[in-house]
């Protein structure tokens, strides 16, 4: 779902990151407040004041979204769910779960916590706004507090839409899950509703664009596309997890994989291994010992004129927790590692000895066959 992100801070054990795409929405929010909303609501202020109000409003939105996601994460922790952290991206934020909730009740409580927190934040800002009016606070301060009240209530209302994977969609899934005790069926139904909502937003966005509301139409179209894709991907991810869950890596690994000696040059690697076997990663051996691995991404970073003199020993990456896995590890964890590191192959190591290679293609081929043979609601 995300592109490049950077860590901002850590709080209560949760790492908060910001996807670079969020910078786009931060700039757009600041600009729309400074040039559109605040001048329309509160005329006759200076341009500098409007820009300051826009920046403060955008920062308030940032804090509100983080608080919303923190509430999800704190409740999830109470129910034993492994939360990886919080990432802010172009359409808001997401609390990253390592797995599906253990029970329908756990999902309901985790999902509803976000919108309830946004309502509470909105109510607090409303009280501050009313107190500011009564106390004669300056117009810019009252304007920003009013906006933060308004935007938090909008955030709560939007997230309560029964469109998976929005919070309301997760609430719906938890109810369906609890009623039928079938997570896969509940996910399929709620994902279908989320996909339908996405299509509806896409259609409304096109109509808005045709009617002259270009910016609003484009944003509605993009949100609809995001919601539709997220709903479909969420269901597919559940299917993959359920198909691979409990299966050890040794069941999928290729034993006795092709290895490369650390003494050859990068040019020899390219000609004799990459072009011959078409793999993007190879184990590197120093005699009969595993020394690390070499990937096509690493080769691309080496200047072409150095290929004939640089050896694999110099270019290879050492073995680490990011590129190695035990043969008895659950295949779901292998898939998560590949996703996190953007790697399509992992070294399977037992007692420091290379015993095989597991690839993304191996996992997905098994998933495809299992779904085809065992597909049920």
- Cβ(171)–Cβ(108) below 8 Å: yes
Long-range contacts of residues 366-372, Cβ cutoff 8 Å, at least 24 apart: 366/243, 366/244, 366/247, 366/251, 366/252, 367/239, 367/240, 367/243, 367/244, 370/243, 371/239, 371/243
Structural domains of the chain, with CATH: 5-244 (no CATH), 249-374 (3.10.580.10)
pLDDT for the residue 81: 79
Helix locations, the chain, DSSP H: 22-32, 38-41, 47-78, 104-135, 139-159, 167-180, 183-210, 214-244, 266-269, 275-277, 296-300, 312-315, 331-341, 360-374
Taken in order 1, 95, 217, 31, the sign of the CA dihedral is: negative
Question: Could you say which DSSP state residue 270 is in?
Answer: I
Q: List the chain residues with pLDDT less than 70.
A: 1-5, 12, 21, 84-85, 88-99, 215, 374-377
pLDDT digits (tens, 9 = 90+) for 253-310: 989 899 999 999 999 999 999 999 998 889 999 988 899 899 998 999 999 999 999 9
pLDDT for the residue 1: 44
Place of tokens 């072409």: 304
Distance CA 330, CA 250 (A): 9
- The 3 state secondary structure assigned to 104-119 is HHHHHHHHHHHHHHHH
pLDDT for the residue 179: 92
Tokens matching residue 250:
């040794």
At 23, give phi and psi (nearest 5°): -60, -30
pLDDT for the residue 141: 94
């Amino acid at each position: 779902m995300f592109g490049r992100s950077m860590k901002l801070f850590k709080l209560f054990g949760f790492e908060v990151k910001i996807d670079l795409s969020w910078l786009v929405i931060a700039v757009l929010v600041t600009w729309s407040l400074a040039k559109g909303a605040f001048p329309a609501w509160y005329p006759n202020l200076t341009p500098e004041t409007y820009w300051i109000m826009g920046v403060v409003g955008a920062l308030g939105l940032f804090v509100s979204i983080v608080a919303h996601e923190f509430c999800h994460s704190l409740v999830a922790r109470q129910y034993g769910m492994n939360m990886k952290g919080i990432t802010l991206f172009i359409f808001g934020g997401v609390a990253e779960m390592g797995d599906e909730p253990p029970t329908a009740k756990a999902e309901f409580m985790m999902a509803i916590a976000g919108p309830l927190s946004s309502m509470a934040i909105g109510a607090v800002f409303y009280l501050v706004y009313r107190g500011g009016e009564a106390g004669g606070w300056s117009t810019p301060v009252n304007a920003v507090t009013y906006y933060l009240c308004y935007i938090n209530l909008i955030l709560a209302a939007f997230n309560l839409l029964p469109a998976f994977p929005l919070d309301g969609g997760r609430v719906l899934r938890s109810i369906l899950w609890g009623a039928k005790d079938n997570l896969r069926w509940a996910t399929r139904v709620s994902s279908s509703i989320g996909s339908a909502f996405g299509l509806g937003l896409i259609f409304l966005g096109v109509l808005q664009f045709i009617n002259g509301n270009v910016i609003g139409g484009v944003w509605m179209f993009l949100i609809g596309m995001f919601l539709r894709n997220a709903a479909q991907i969420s269901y597919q991810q559940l299917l993959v997890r359920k198909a691979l869950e409990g299966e050890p890596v040794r069941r999928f690994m290729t034993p006795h994989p092709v290895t490369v000696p650390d003494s050859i040059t990068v040019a020899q690697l390219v000609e004799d291994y990459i072009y011959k076997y078409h793999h993007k990663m190879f184990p590197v051996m120093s005699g009969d010992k595993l020394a690390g691995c070499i990937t096509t991404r690493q080769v691309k970073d080496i200047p072409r004129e150095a290929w004939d003199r640089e050896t694999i020993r110099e270019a290879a990456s050492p073995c680490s927790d990011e590129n190695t896995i035990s043969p008895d590890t659950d295949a779901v964890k292998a898939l998560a590692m590949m996703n996190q590191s953007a790697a399509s192959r992992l070294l399977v190591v037992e007692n420091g000895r290379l015993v095989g290679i597991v690839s993304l293609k191996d996992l997905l081929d098994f998933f495809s066959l299992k779904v085809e043979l065992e597909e049920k609601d």
